[in-house]
Structure 1
Amino acid sequence: MDPQGQQAGWRLADAAMSDRERGIFWRNRLLILFDLLPLPAAFCESDGTIRVVNPAMALEWGVLPGHLTGRNALALFRLTAGAQLHPVNEAVRLRRRSRYPVKVSWSSASGAERHGELIIDVVTDLPDASPNLLLLLRMVDQHAAPAPGPAPEEHAQLSAVEAQILALAAGGCTTTQIAGAVGLTDDGVNYHFRQLSQRWGTTSRAALVARAYATGVLAPGTWPPVPAHRDPRT
């Protein structure tokens, strides 16, 4: 179908939907885009309580996205010298749509000290609605990915979620089956596969599984496959 015909088809489909169906349709597509966003992101209540985070944000703490739901996002970070949240609090109080960059630091899943900028957007759906916060984390200490050929102790650099995804892939699970097992969308699982492929310099899942066994990420001699180092957060 040509682009014009495709757009016309979308308009007809949209017109046939009820308001509720239309809302669900666009919400699902926005969640897919949110999952694919490479920048760590979170959507929060006005007090910072997390409603949803994307895989990139959860990866910083080595947990599934659902494990951060209900926590206060601002408690995950430490304000650097001179950084203040007072302007954000005032924007929330006045229901003023604004954007505020805040310098922060935090401890990653591996225990490394990280530094970056937390971009806080105060957003509202309606003029009289309670504001929400959209958080985007921009890291300033990103390092180049390691060269192919990881060392045997590389399992320490993987999160529990990544190890679990590799174990399920080694057992022959499909993307959809993996997504259901770890609580992600298909796109969220594919995001982790892309990150692992870039980190290890591989081009296929079979190569990822082979490296996972070679580096001690997966326990040898077990079926179904399991991570060699279990993490209580899983």
Structure 2
Amino acid sequence: MDDSTFKALSRTGTPGRYAAFADLVDLAPAAAFIRDSDGRYLWANHAYAHLYGTVPEQVIGRYIEDLDEPADAEQFRALDQEILGRGTPVRHTLAYRRPDGSAGRAVGHRFPVRENARTCVAGIYVDVTDHLRATVQWQEAEENLQALRDHSGLPCALLSANGRVVEASAAAAELFQVSPHDLVGRRAHTLLAPSPDLARLHARWNGLISRRTRRVETSAVLVDAHGLQRRAQLHLTSIGHSSTGHPSGGHAPVGHAPVGHSTSRARHVWAVVTHQSLAHEAHPALTAAQIRILSLLAEGSSNGDIATSLHLSRQTVDYHLSRLRHLLGAATRPALVARAYVLGILAPRAWPPRSATAAHPLSTV
């Protein structure tokens, strides 16, 4: 079949075995061609011509050497002869030189076709150069992220949408007094101590997974393998997305039902601990009034000032302070303030002093 016959067959609708196929492939994103045994192009689609920075009309009728460098042309002719000799399709990865001089790579099949009593070589390829380049860049980014994670010294973990630890830094494993191997696979809610702010943490997690929010800064009480607790400042960031309502099933990380169906859900959440209190044994949860008293005490207020600010009697304030010294194991007022900070009851970076669980920076409780 000569080039004019094939072009007429593929573009005019003239009856023929490959006319409809040629019309379809001509506009396909995969690069396709047909060459005769002499290396002359009988047909090429737009995607194939684009690899050479031209159009199909400028490819048809030309020879391999007219388009490719000598070394590439020699390789392509050898592949054609292999197909003609074997008579069976061959799948392989093809390296070539792009018009801009950069290296390209394509993956596809080359196979024999029979036309007008002649055996020709057809090929169809997908250019994977950009995909491979993106893969390399992604791998480099992953390696850089891992190096940053391992050398930053910050406890951090990658959590799945259903709250399971996927990756964890050495600092995170040390925080929970377990090995990194034992930490991976754990449910996040098993690492949290019961506390009044769990409901708020759950709501914020749902916002991340449903992608209503991208980043959250909050706090939680963590519990290690020995049962010791510490309050930690958490930075949560959602990454990736999926189109299914429940990509991996299971329960939310704080032990509640999973998030409802959504058209776009986060697949993972990065959790980073930036501040943490000293490890301590569990103590009874403090009331809002007790925390407010501690914040005023840390500010330097006297018992009388505290009573006036909170509209309490002096005797009530004295009782609360006595109770707090007992709960926190602090014998003096300075020791009580110090314990409130090292146990994570008061926020370490806030002035005036305020609760570490306050929802807003200006809130006092």
Coarse TM-score class (shorter-chain normalised): 0.3 to 0.5
TM-score relative to the length of structure 1: 0.46
Name the structure where strand makes up a greater proportion of residues: 2
TM-score normalised according to structure 2 size? 0.31
Instruction: Name whichever structure is richer in helix by fraction.
Output: 1
